[in-house]
Every structure is written in C-alpha cells, then in structure tokens.
Structure 1
Amino acid sequence: MVTATGFPEIELADIGMHYPSDATEVIALQNVSLNIAKGEFVSLLGPSGCGKTTLLRLMADLIQPTSGSIKVAGKSAKEARLARKYGIVFQNPVLYDWRRVEENITLPLELMGVKKAERKRKAAELLDLVGLQGFGDKYPWQLSGGMQQRVAIARALSMEPEILLMDEPFSALDEFTRERLNEELLSIWSQVKNTVVFVTHSISESIFLSDRVFVLSPHPGRLSSVADIPLPRPRTREMRNSPEFFGLIAQIRGSFEGV
C-alpha cells in the first residue's frame, strides 16, 4: 500500500536485529520487510519474544537495526523522530504522580517552550478527545488503570504526531476495560486520522482494531503472514460475535501452525 505521494508512510526493508550475548549472538529479528500506508491502522501480532516491541522501537528510532533500512515518509527514521512525527504509548502509562493530569498531558509542550495559555487550551481539547473532561486537576494515582492509559494517549497526541506507536497499551487491564478502550481508541483514531502501529499478543484485539495484521513468528522474529481485515468501519462490539470475526480468528491462528 502506498500514499498519494508515491511511497508508504512507513517502509521496512530486510530488517535484522542481533544482540550480542556471552554464549552466542541472539537474533531478535530476521529479514522483516513491510509497508504501512498513511492513515492505516495496523497491528504487530505474535507471541512473547517474537520481536514485536523491538520492531516498534526500531520504527521510532529508539534503537537501530543491525541490517536493513527504515523509511518514514521517504526519509530516515532518525529524520522522522527529529521532526517529531511520532507519538508513543507504552505498556505502562509512565505518568508522573506529582503532576496533575493536565500537566502530564502537556509535558511535551512544556518542554518545547509552549506558553501556558496554549498548553491549557490544548489540554482541554485532548481531555475532551479521550473522554476525561473534568479530570485535568486530578493526580494519576486518583485514576483507574484505564483512565491512566487514556491520559498517556492524550500526552502522545499532544504534539499532533503523524504516527502513533502503541506498545501493548491495554495488556495489563481486565478484559472488559480492554474491550471498552479498544472502542474508545478507534473513536479517537477516527477523529485524529493518523497512522497507528499497535503491538499486541491478542488475536481478537488485533482484528477488532486493524486494517491489516502483521503476524510475527518467534526465534528469530520473522514476518509470518499479513492478514487483511475486511470488517466495515466503524467497528462495533457486536462484530466480535459475528461469523466473519471468528473466521478471521481461525485464519490468523492457522498462520501460527508449524511455527
């Protein structure tokens, strides 16, 4: 998939990632190539240890590959990072307990020297976007786990990134909260319309959220298959019980056979 400009939003070509160890070199990723279109919502799916988070960190230019190349809108990952094209949401919210919710959200803007009045305006806009109106004066410890992750999402969006990278942001939550936040995330995405790369080990979550699912196999991590998700948007909770949904689960689960 390519954009109107003629190249993908994110392009990985023959990515390899090796880590040295005392005994022997550990191969985390091997010959991974994939393209992600502008505005697309994709998931990186696979079991623990298959290199999903490593691949996300490579896209974000937090680490560099041993081999291969990464392009973001036709430029290097480093150039994209320096241009602040990324927003990142980690598995844990990583909020500062001594800062109020509003102050956590606007921390990136504060570090950039944005004036207080503009920060407050932006915080109000983002609190409304993530459904936390009236919680700006609270502290993180006063919020539930799901609400804390919504604060983390708002903070990641504060710089209006073109690309949102999400590393298993809901994995620590109970199933009911997780499914509700899946729906809320899609609502946010439909308004922001950025490119999303979402790491998960849940087949059903990847199907519900994504346009495409990239399935990774472990030891070393390789791109095992790519599943198109033809479910219509907007996605609804009723879709989770449809024959089409269960068929996609079976299809993706089958791609793990023999791995």
Structure 2
Amino acid sequence: MRYRTEGSEVVALHQVSLEVGAGEFVSLLGPSGCGKTTLLRIMADLQQPTSGVVKIAGKSPKEARLSQKYGIVFQSPVLYDWRTVKANITLPLEMMSIPKAERNRRADELLELVGLGNFSDRYPWQLSGGMQQRVAIARALAIRPEILLMDEPFSALDEFTRERLNEELLAIWKQIQSTVVFVTHSIPEAVFLSDRVFVLSPHPGRLSAVVDIPLPRPRTQSMRNDPEFFRLITEIRDRFEGV
C-alpha cells in the first residue's frame, strides 16, 4: 500500500503475506505507523491496495462485504446518541430489511450475550466506555458474520476495564465461533487473546514475525501471571525490527 503526499511517496505496507484459518483468533500487533489498521481496512474493503491480492473466504473483499461475511468494530464505538442501545444494534438489520420481529429477537439475544440485557432502552450517553464498546460488538454481530474485524476496540479504556473485556470477548468468541482479526499495539493483550500473533514492523510496514500462542484455552485472569505468558511477551518484543 503506497500513499502520495506532497510530491513524495510513502510505503505503508510492503510485501505483507499472511493467511488466517477459519475460526482462528489472530492479532495484528505493532506500534503506531506500522500499517496494521491499513491492513485491516484493506481486508474490510474500506481501502484498496495499490498492488497485491486479498481473498476473504475465497472472495474479493468487496464480494465478502456485499455478502455480509464480516462485521467490524472500530476503536470508537460510533453509536448514535439518539437511538437506544437496542436500536443501535438493530440498525444494520433495518438496512437489510430484516423483519422487525427478527430484528428484536436477534438484538435481545446479543444483549444477553454481551451482558447488557437490562440496558436495551438506555442511550449510549448513559453508558460507560466499556459498555458502549460492548454495544458496538453486539451490533457487529447482528448480521451473524463469519469474520469479525476489530480495530483496537479497547485501546481507549483503562487497564482494568480492558482486561475484563478481553475475557468477555473470548467468551463471546467461543459462542459465535467466528474468525477474529484483532488489531492492537498491546503485546500482553495480543498474547492473552490470540491463537497466533502477526508482528508488524514500521517504515515500511511489513510482517516481521508470526508467533504461535500455545497457552491453553479457556484463558483466565490467572494466566497473566504464568511464566509462559511472560516468556511469550518477551519473545514478541524481541521480534520487532526497526522499532
């Protein structure tokens, strides 16, 4: 992926090649400016690469998007303040002309899944940041995507809330059995969540390492104190190039 700025050219991504398996939880990890969000946006058909090929379950990103293959969760929840929590979740279903009864049924199921069953009639401004992000996750899941793309969804939250939502996300993933591609700049977060971590280094953005995470599942809070957890963090930190 190349950008032209004021007569010069910036290479955001260079020769990045990777494959993600069905049902896998992987993280794109790297510092600011390494191209991890750009790579996710290319997967999501929000940006077009200047060269190379991307396939989503055998389809082009555009074909995958039009066939509702994936849901997206951004760094900011991007909720509509004038719509209730439930109405925010049902919005993509309204756009797909899903019958109202089915929209409500899915929304109720998802509210229970993300632990907000008692907040359906609240408005986003009445919720904490962590609760708003759970609403955003529920909305992304409303279309029952095969793939969930997540762009640093917890980076704006305090560490305690972030770690709790990491555990909740894994519980949700276990139930929905979707493929997850998760962007983060936090090494501990990537290790805790992932089956594999793709380490991206900047200038230009490139894939510098792929690290398997052999920690057993389900992942628990106590695992953060395990020597193997710290070993994996150290291994990934040592893999960064040009940082």
Tell me the TM-score range normalised by the shorter chain: over 0.9
**Which one of the candidate residues 7, 20, 30 is aligned to 2:4?**
20
SS at match of 1:91: coil
Scaled by the length of structure 2, what TM-score is found? 0.99
**Deviations for 1:37-70, whole angstroms, at most 9, x for unmatched residues?**
0000000000000000000000011111111100
Equivalent-residue separation in structure 2 for 1:59 and 1:246 (angstroms): 31
Structure 1 unaligned segments of length 5 or more: list them.
Answer: 1-16
Q: Aligned residue for 1:8?
A: none
Runs of 4+ in structure 1 deviating by more than 6 angstroms, as ranges, are none
Q: May I ask how many residue pairs the two structures share in their alignment?
A: 243
Q: Aligned residue for 2:132?
A: 148
Q: Aligned residue for 1:101?
A: 85
**Deviations for 1:74-133, whole angstroms, at most 9, x for unmatched residues?**
121111111110100000000000000000001000111112111111110000010101
Say yes or no: does 1:157 pair with 2:157.
no
Superposition pairs for residues 148-227 of structure 1, below 5 Å?
Answer: 148-227=132-211
**Deviations for 1:144-174, whole angstroms, at most 9, x for unmatched residues?**
0000000000000000000000000000000
What is the Cα deviation at residue 229 of structure 1?
0.0
Query: Which structure has the higher relative contact order (CA within 8 Å, separation 6+)?
Result: 2
RMSD of the TM alignment (CA)?
A: 0.8
Q: Aligned residue for 2:95?
A: 111
Equivalent-residue separation in structure 2 for 1:115 and 1:103 (angstroms): 14
Equivalent-residue separation in structure 1 for 2:167 and 2:53 (angstroms): 34
SS at match of 1:88: strand
Q: Aligned residue for 1:253?
A: 237
Structure 2 letter corresponding to 1:143: L
What is the Cα deviation at residue 191 of structure 1?
0.1
Structure 1 letter corresponding to 2:159: E
**Which one of the candidate residues 31, 44, 55 is aligned to 1:47?**
31
**Which one of the candidate residues 206, 222, 233 is aligned to 2:217?**
233
What is the Cα deviation at residue 72 of structure 1?
1.2
SS at match of 1:38: coil
What is the Cα deviation at residue 23 of structure 1?
3.5
The farther-off stretch of 93-102 and 18-27 is 18-27
Identity percentage over the alignment? 76
Q: Aligned residue for 2:62?
A: 78
The farther-off stretch of 68-77 and 227-236 is 68-77
SS at match of 1:69: coil
Equivalent-residue separation in structure 1 for 2:56 and 2:39 (angstroms): 14
**Deviations for 1:180-235, whole angstroms, at most 9, x for unmatched residues?**
00000000000000000000000000000000000000011000000000000000
Q: Is the 8 A contact 2:202 2:242 kept in 1?
A: no
Structure 1 letter corresponding to 2:51: S
SS at match of 1:215: strand
Equivalent-residue separation in structure 1 for 2:141 and 2:58 (angstroms): 22
Structure 2 unaligned segments of length 5 or more: list them.
Answer: none
Equivalent-residue separation in structure 2 for 1:50 and 1:182 (angstroms): 23
Equivalent-residue separation in structure 2 for 1:140 and 1:61 (angstroms): 28
**Which one of the candidate residues 68, 74, 77 is aligned to 1:90?**
74
What is the Cα deviation at residue 258 of structure 1?
4.9
Structure 2 letter corresponding to 1:122: R
Q: Is the 8 A contact 2:72 2:140 kept in 1?
A: yes
